[in-house]
Structure 1
Amino acid sequence: MTPGRGSPAGDDADEGAGGLLSPPYRALVVGLLAIVTCGAFEAMAVTTAMPVVAAELGGQGSYGLAFSLFLTASMAATAAAGPWCDARGARPALLTGLALMFSGLVLGGAATDFGLFTLGRMVSGLGAGSMIVAVYVVIGQALPSVLQPVMFGWFSAAWVVPSLVGPYVSGLLAQHVSWRWPFLGVAPIVLVAVALVWPRVRSLGLPAAPEGGGHDGRRRALRGAALACGVGAAQWALVSAADPGSNLRSDAPALLAAVGVAGAALAVLSVPRLILAGTWVARRGLPAVMAVRGLITFAFFGSEAFIPLILVNRYGLEPSIAGLALTGGALGWTAGSFAQARSWLPRRLYLVLGPAAVGACLAAVALSVGTQTSPWAIALCWFVAGAGMGLSMSTTSVLTLELSDAAERGRNSASLQLADMLGGVIGTAGAGTLYAHMLDSGSAPGAAGFALIAAVLSVPALFGALAGVRAHAPSSADQEARRA
């Protein structure tokens, strides 16, 4: 996506002299930070509140869908928003994303059954995917290049406070007031963000015409939408077939099977053109980096959805206390990110150590749950797993740029983000389906069931460590053999 005509990034030294909070940029910067903070708080809050939401709305069987369909919708919106911003500028995508985010928060917070709540999560996901792409384009157009790295640093900081206090505050609200307030309370802040950013965004020029007419971008958007639709249909069919409370499970099993097969086929046909060739087999070099990214998000985000549920259902902790485990994971992630930035070890070694730490910690969670060890052991495991993610995620981003030619960095970065999202979707959907299969008795699974979920999810992380061994540039002989 190219900064547009009329971008104020011309005289960077002069225009950036006053900093991000100088009068020309202050309202825009505060509004963008509010957008990111809202998204961060909502992401952290929903995981903590979900055990209460599922119990009150009868959504135990569809528990995983509230997470996976959010990610699926976000994946579809991300694929579509890039070409849209290239063609029309950031304004339509940003306003649409904010409107969808607001609508999704209100719909989720006011839901009277779990189906409506899940629909609200999907709408929020569409908003989040559209909004984050537009925010990046706005930064490219509205801020001089000298201030853009500072803005991205502030974005990282905007995640810190929600990560530290979001789970605890959400748990307190769900426990003592209502689970609805983490959603309804964030919605007005979205409106404030719109009011702050819109005057500045409205004055931005149109984007420069994409090279090649933008046909490739439109094809990629259609493939991304097809992938998201296929993945969404497949996971809905799988969870519905497993959910003991689903009428379709007994009334229309053939329909569920047909939707599941069609969705899986659509996803399989769509994904090869979107993800770098060789990713599925962790081919040496950049494809192995992509494989690491997808495998660790598969394991981590699939598990994260169930950590508060384990602590609430199996250990009887209050939601606010259970949420502190997520805070520990966020602190571990920050520590891991700091460690990789210091380059204390060869960078590619982090792609072995990080996934191995995630896999080992999930195996330890399975053992702790199965033997009813102290819940603080699970919290400690989650802190170390977060550190493993911090080591891995930033390293995959750096290596993607390092191993890409200049002309391929945009496409390869998009492939990395798609591998990230797809891993999270498959992980949460798979864990949710497994959880639904264990609800035949009508109650939450026992300790062995939760231990099984954690143990199964440790496997992709350990495969990620194996892929990390191959995440270095291929030799000249390998390259010549591949060309032949």
Structure 2
Amino acid sequence: MTDTRAAASIWDRERLWVTAGAVALIFLAAIESLAVTTVMPIVSEALDGESLYAVAFAGTLATSVIGMVATGAWSDARGPRGALYAAVSLFIAGLLVSGFAVTMHQFLLGRLVQGLGAGGQTVALYVVVARLYPPQLHGRVFAAFAAAWVVPSMVGPFLAGAVAEYIDWRWAFLGVAVLTAVAFAMIVVRLRGVDLGHGEPQDRRALMRRLLLATIVAIAAVSVGFSADLAEAARWPAAIVAVAVIGLAILPLVPRGTLRAAAGLPSVVLMRGIAAGAFFAAEAYVPYLLIERFGFSATWAGIALMLAAFAWAGASAVQGRFGDRLGNTRIAFISLGLVMVAVASVFAAAVLGGSPLLVILGWAFGGGGMGLLYPRLTVLTLAYSTEADQGFNSSALSISDATGSAAAIALAGLVVASLGGGVSAFSAVFALCAVLVLVAAVPGLRLGHAAEERSS
């Protein structure tokens, strides 16, 4: 028995196709996520949808919250097979709708459907891993998944820009749809007839409540973005109401005390949402800035994202090795400081012009800051959790991440629509992100010391 377990591998004959297919699905989801950031300036111009530019990002993130909750509940109640099949099918369908869209609203519909699938397929894949692989292989599988995210972040933006510039932006979506179908087929063939469990009875009322709340959060976040299409006098009142609805609906989905930055886990979850919002709202406009302000092509506009991805990967490795020694509060403020340098750099480039190197090199600091912060907040979430609440707390962290990003990106889009584009719009977006970085310092002071205490 010992010899068999020692010889087990995620690439052995029994699991080869599932591993390859799952890693490919993660890889393609990452490629697509980064591709959108690079090609959206071209898409919004081609479909005459500049006012809804931000919804293309915010909408997918918002509906991913519904996908996370629904797929997690489905997997627990009936096993992960059907949940995985449904999630990947929605992801492919969304890509096809966006790829064939002839109007901006059709494109956004595809992005919303895609978000349902993207949020769900990751959760379902995690459950498949738990059911199909022995515990001693879980770490190796998740390491492979992590690598599947890192590699696209280094080449995806440049590749997507080249596809949009030299072929057609539609293939940034249609190509991923075709490849996802191939990867999915690899998993389906191998899982046919495999017992993945049939789930356990669930509290339907509680599940329906969580799903309803997740749907309300998603609708409200998308509404913030669509408020840019309203009459000028109604835009900000509608957005403020939508943000208030998000705050109320998300309360039962996160630990008690999250919105008031209570010490410990609530502040961990809150900081994740605010920091994600600050970084990703700014990043959504970095390629746009390079194209509009400095005349970059889509291919070369992706360089800034590539350097940030390298910095993110390197900083994550530093955190893994020295995180406990540095301490949670110190990491939080080093991270926020690096993100603030990045935001200040792109703000200065937007206002003053000068060299685009200020954008490209400056944004790398932001990637480094997030690379330090993200894994640390995940470690802290697990350190504050018990077996009884690991699922809820992990879900809360993901929900905060997606919701914070969606709301901040949508607000940034509203700012751009209100100012009519140009230098003033870019500078206002980056100023908003700088304010969010400062706000993130409040929970950053209240993270506590769970990880250090557990490691000692």
CA distance in 2, matches of 1:433, 1:23: 52
Aligned to 1:27: 17
CA distance in 2, matches of 1:311, 1:365: 10
Greater radius of gyration (CA): 1
Deviations 1:223-246 (A, max 9, x none): 22222223323432x2212xxxxx
Q: What one-letter code is carried by the residue in structure 2 that aligns with 1:397?
A: T
Pick closer, same or farther for the CA change 1:456–1:258 going to 2, 3 Å: closer
The partner residue of 1:291 within 262, 265, 270 is 270
Pick closer, same or farther for the CA change 1:471–1:60 going to 2, 3 Å: same
Q: What one-letter code is carried by the residue in structure 1 that aligns with 2:48?
A: G
Aligned to 1:360: 341
CA distance in 1, matches of 2:9, 2:360: 40
**Aligned pairs, number:** 447
CA distance in 2, matches of 1:228, 1:449: 25
CA distance in 2, matches of 1:47, 1:332: 18
Q: What one-letter code is carried by the residue in structure 2 that aligns with 1:204?
A: D
Matches within 5 A, 1:335-374: 335-343=314-322, 345-348=325-328, 349-374=330-355
Once the 2 structures are TM-superposed, how far is the Cα of residue 215 of structure 1 from its aligned partner?
4.6
Deviations 1:261-303 (A, max 9, x none): 7755643432111111222222222222122111110101111
CA distance in 2, matches of 1:284, 1:462: 18
Pick closer, same or farther for the CA change 1:30–1:12 going to 2, 3 Å: farther
The partner residue of 1:451 within 427, 440, 446 is 427
Q: What one-letter code is carried by the residue in structure 2 that aligns with 1:468?
A: G
Aligned to 1:442: none
Once superposed, what is the RMSD of the aligned Cα atoms? 2.1
SS in 1 for 2:259: helix
Q: Which runs of 5+ in 2 are unaligned?
A: 451-456
Q: What one-letter code is carried by the residue in structure 2 that aligns with 1:422?
A: T
Once the 2 structures are TM-superposed, how far is the Cα of residue 423 of structure 1 from its aligned partner?
0.9
CA distance in 2, matches of 1:306, 1:258: 24
CA distance in 2, matches of 1:239, 1:346: 43
Contact 1:16 1:144 in 2 (8 A): no
Once the 2 structures are TM-superposed, how far is the Cα of residue 138 of structure 1 from its aligned partner?
0.5
Q: Where in structure 1 do 4 or more consecutive aligned residues deviate above 4 Å?
A: 212-215, 256-266
Say whether 1:309 aligns with 2:288.
yes
The partner residue of 2:443 within 444, 467, 474 is 467
Say whether 1:157 aligns with 2:147.
yes
Deviations 1:371-406 (A, max 9, x none): 112111111111110000011110001111222344
CA distance in 1, matches of 2:155, 2:41: 18
Pick closer, same or farther for the CA change 1:28–1:414 going to 2, 3 Å: same
Say whether 1:239 aligns with 2:228.
yes
Deviations 1:394-452 (A, max 9, x none): 0001111222344322222211111111111111111111111122xxxxx22232122
CA distance in 2, matches of 1:45, 1:177: 14
SS in 2 for 1:314: helix
The partner residue of 1:333 within 288, 291, 312 is 312
Say whether 1:73 aligns with 2:52.
no
Once the 2 structures are TM-superposed, how far is the Cα of residue 470 of structure 1 from its aligned partner?
1.6
Say whether 1:84 aligns with 2:74.
yes
Pick closer, same or farther for the CA change 1:196–1:15 going to 2, 3 Å: farther
Once the 2 structures are TM-superposed, how far is the Cα of residue 158 of structure 1 from its aligned partner?
0.9
Aligned to 2:454: none
Aligned-residue identity in percent:
34
Q: What one-letter code is carried by the residue in structure 2 that aligns with 1:453?
A: V
Aligned to 2:400: 419
Say whether 1:431 aligns with 2:418.
no
Once the 2 structures are TM-superposed, how far is the Cα of residue 53 of structure 1 from its aligned partner?
0.8
CA distance in 2, matches of 1:325, 1:262: 35
CA distance in 2, matches of 1:168, 1:215: 46
CA distance in 1, matches of 2:333, 2:3: 41
Pick closer, same or farther for the CA change 1:127–1:377 going to 2, 3 Å: same
Q: What one-letter code is carried by the residue in structure 2 that aligns with 1:437?
A: S
Once the 2 structures are TM-superposed, how far is the Cα of residue 169 of structure 1 from its aligned partner?
1.2
CA distance in 2, matches of 1:164, 1:128: 20
Q: What one-letter code is carried by the residue in structure 1 that aligns with 2:409?
A: T
Matches within 5 A, 1:111-190: 111-190=101-180
TM-score of the pair, normalised by structure 2: 0.93
SS in 1 for 2:402: helix
The partner residue of 2:260 within 274, 281, 299 is 281
Aligned to 1:477: none
Contact 1:352 1:468 in 2 (8 A): yes
Contact 2:319 2:375 in 1 (8 A): yes
Say whether 1:400 aligns with 2:389.
no
